[in-house]
Amino acid sequence: MGFWILGHECGHNAFSEYRWIDDAIDLFIHSVTLTPYFTFKYSHRNHHAHTNSLELDEVYIPKRKSDTFFSEFMNNGPGNVFILIIRVTLGHPLYMIFNTLGIFNDRERELHHVVLSDVGIIAVLYAFYHLFVTEGVKMAAFLYGIPLFAFSCIFIIVTYLNHTHPSVPHFDSTEWNWIRGALSTIDRDYGKLMNWAFHNSNQNHVIHHLFPMPPHYHAFEATEAIKPIIGDYYKYDDTLILKAMWRDMMECIYVEPDESSENKGVYWYFK
Ligand SMILES: [Zn+2]
């Protein structure tokens, strides 16, 4: 996950002053984690451009009460546990398949970027196949399969928690604007070891949405600088990672409009 976070930084051109260096490193890192690099980059750019917009954001778009499968049928102990397991284990592969495949059509997506992304993925799959044939299934699983699955689960937990919390609103097009979306993210503290493993990105996600360019090793300074300016809009929670995942998944089942908001375009979580 820490390795992937460095790749994410390259995707924002925050790693080097030279775009080709960022692209080369990121193509490698994303391919190793079976993420189609350029397509993820465009999808992620869209997430930054439309954060917490109910209509246009890419990830963690909440369910509505009218979606009774989630708000009623699955809204009980066993249902919540089932959704938690499916989200953590399959969330990342499903996002990669549907969100990144869905963006191939846009005129902006250049063919050579799509081809390069695919070449990266195919090269890694071929290396995995080679490992499987020469070293056997056990070695291939321990060296690549299990670490990749663990990464995939941790990726969902970390990104979900930076974007989901009972205090975080969503907006429809009548109330959404970029700054409201960027401020509807939350910083998390998981303790020294986890923070270190994630390059402290979990502690600096609000600043990442306001200013994605500073590299991770300057993010703390930037967060401290922005806190007095945004005041109460700064959101922070230091609940331990697994407890936070459990609690917030139980608290944040679906969203409904804020009755006190003038044109009902602000949405809060209910359970
Ligand atoms: Zn980002």
Q: For 26-75, how does the pLDDT look when each residue is reduced to its tens digit (9 = 90+)?
A: 999 999 998 888 788 888 999 999 999 999 988 888 988 888 888 888 88
Q: How far is the CA of 17 from the centre of ligand 1 (A)?
A: 17
The parent domain of residue 18 ranges over: 2-270
Q: How far is the CA of 41 from the centre of ligand 1 (A)?
A: 9
Band (pLDDT 50/70/90 cuts) for residue 133 is: very high
Q: How far is the CA of 180 from the centre of ligand 1 (A)?
A: 16
The secondary structure element, H or E, covering residue 119 is helix 111-135
| Domain count for the chain | 1
For residue 100, give the nearest of 119, 118, 124, 120 by alpha carbon: 118
- 61 DSSP assignment: P
Specify the residue for token string 């600096």. Answer: 204
| Rounded CA separation 43/130 (Å) | 31
Beta strand ranges found along 40-122 (DSSP E): 63-64
**Which range among 46-50, 96-100, 225-229 shows the weakest confidence by mean pLDDT?**
96-100
Q: How far is the CA of 75 from the centre of ligand 1 (A)?
A: 31
| Percentage of the residues of the chain whose pLDDT score is greater than 90 | 61
Indicate the burial class of 108 (C-beta count within 10 angstroms; 0-12, 13-18, 19 or more). Answer: exposed
